[in-house]
């Protein structure tokens, strides 16, 4: 279920639990045993469906998804920051280039004004010495992405952009890490680029292992995971995938029994 932006799944009834009970009956296992097994498989799908991911999330390796996330962050930075010294006019050996480079060393505000007047940069473009996390944050939308368009900030210190990019890429995996409480509870092993966020990424795992009526509640409290979960229907997609898988398994079991009964 969902409560506000807190993403939960509480397994008690619905098609999922119905399939769990049927499999338990067919395989002569306890409902609790099958429930734990299926929630574990569901959780693996959910983690793969939580950003970052590519076009085929449920079959992508964790390492592939890490690289996808890091490339996405690098792409956002290229849309957010340009390097001032790479502007062609600042490389010019002519008088204008010499004058602009002098301003680059002595007066960035004046350089910004001159570049605007020359229409080298737009009227709302900033020229700054070092890139900061605050500059990057202002450019991000509610999903944490930078929209494509005219580069809004030109930076003198290219190294400051690289350092900021590295810090941002180190945060890749935070959304997935919100499932760590459930993963630890169910014995799902996750790579270091996800588990490094253990201290900050909060989640929920509450098992009610009552033999006749077991239930497991899990939650991911990372804010942007909650937003993505709501928009991308992560919970329902993984739940549907797992339910359909159990139904196929049951159909296979029933067909096998029918063939054995008919002597085929």
Asked whether residue 89 carries a pLDDT value surpassing 80, the answer given is yes
Inside any domain, residue 58: no
Inside any domain, residue 123: yes
**Residue-averaged pLDDT of the chain:** 86
| The domain boundary residue, chosen from 125, 154, 169 | 169
Range of the domain at 10: 2-52+173-261
- Indicate whether 199 and 214 sit together in one domain: yes
Inside any domain, residue 185: yes
| The domain boundary residue, chosen from 115, 143, 169 | 169
**250 band by pLDDT with thresholds 50, 70 and 90:** confident
- Indicate whether 161 and 122 sit together in one domain: yes
- Indicate whether 114 and 188 sit together in one domain: no
Residue 50, classed as helix, strand or coil, is: coil
- Indicate whether 36 and 79 sit together in one domain: no
* Residue 60 to residues 81, 162, 174, 175, 237, Cα–Cα distance (Å): 30, 28, 18, 17, 16
Nearest to 228 by CA among 188, 174, 192: 174
Inside any domain, residue 132: yes
Ranges 17-21, 61-65, 193-197: which has the least confidence: 17-21
Strands across the sheet with 215-220, in order?
A: 2-3, 6-10, 215-220, 203-208
Inside any domain, residue 119: yes
**12 band by pLDDT with thresholds 50, 70 and 90:** very low
- Indicate whether 45 and 28 sit together in one domain: yes
Residue 229, classed as helix, strand or coil, is: helix
**3 band by pLDDT with thresholds 50, 70 and 90:** very low
**10 band by pLDDT with thresholds 50, 70 and 90:** very low
Inside any domain, residue 249: yes
Domain count, the chain: 2
- Indicate whether 48 and 177 sit together in one domain: yes
Q: What percent of the chain has a predicted confidence (pLDDT) above 90?
A: 48
| pLDDT for position 13 | 46
Inside any domain, residue 147: yes
- Indicate whether 142 and 218 sit together in one domain: no
Element (H, E) at 181: helix 180-186
| The domain boundary residue, chosen from 122, 144, 169 | 169
- Indicate whether 227 and 245 sit together in one domain: yes
Using a 10 angstrom Cβ sphere, with 0-12 exposed, 13-18 middle and 19 or more buried, the burial of residue 256 is: exposed
Inside any domain, residue 63: no
In angstroms, the CA 83 to CA 215 distance is: 55
Residue range 68-80, pLDDT digits in tens: 999 999 999 998 9
**264 band by pLDDT with thresholds 50, 70 and 90:** low
Is the pTM higher than 0.75? The answer reads yes
Residue range 185-243, pLDDT digits in tens: 999 999 999 999 999 899 999 998 887 788 888 989 988 776 665 556 788 888 888 88
Give yes or no for a contact between 53 and 60, defined as CB atoms under 8 angstroms apart: yes
């Amino acid at each position: 279920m969902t409560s506000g932006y807190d993403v939960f799944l509480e397994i008690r009834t619905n098609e999922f639990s119905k399939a769990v009970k049927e499999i338990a009956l067919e395989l002569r296992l306890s409902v609790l045993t099958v429930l734990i097994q299926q929630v574990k498989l569901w959780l693996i799908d959910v983690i793969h469906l939580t950003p970052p991911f590519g076009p085929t999330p449920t079959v992508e390796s964790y390492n592939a998804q890490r690289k996808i996330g890091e490339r996405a962050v690098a792409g956002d930075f290229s849309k957010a920051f340009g390097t001032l010294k790479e502007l062609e006019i600042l490389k010019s050996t002519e008088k204008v280039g010499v004058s602009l480079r002098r301003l680059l060393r002595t007066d960035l505000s004046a350089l910004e004004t001159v570049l605007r007047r020359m229409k080298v940069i737009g009227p709302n473009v900033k020229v700054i010495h070092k890139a900061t996390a605050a500059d990057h944050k202002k450019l991000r939308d509610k999903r944490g992405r930078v929209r494509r368009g005219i580069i809004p900030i030109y930076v003198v210190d290219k190294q400051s952009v690289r350092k900021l990019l590295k810090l941002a890429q180190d945060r890749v995996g935070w959304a997935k890490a919100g499932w760590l409480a459930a993963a630890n509870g169910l014995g799902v092993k996750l790579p270091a680029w996800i588990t490094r966020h253990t201290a900050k990424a909060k989640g929920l795992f509450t098992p009610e292992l009552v033999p006749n009526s077991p239930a497991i509640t899990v939650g991911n409290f990372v804010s942007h995971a909650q937003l993505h979960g709501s928009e991308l229907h992560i919970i329902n997609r993984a739940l549907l995938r797992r339910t359909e898988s159990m139904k196929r398994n049951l159909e296979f079991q029933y067909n096998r029994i029918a063939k054995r009964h008919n002597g085929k």
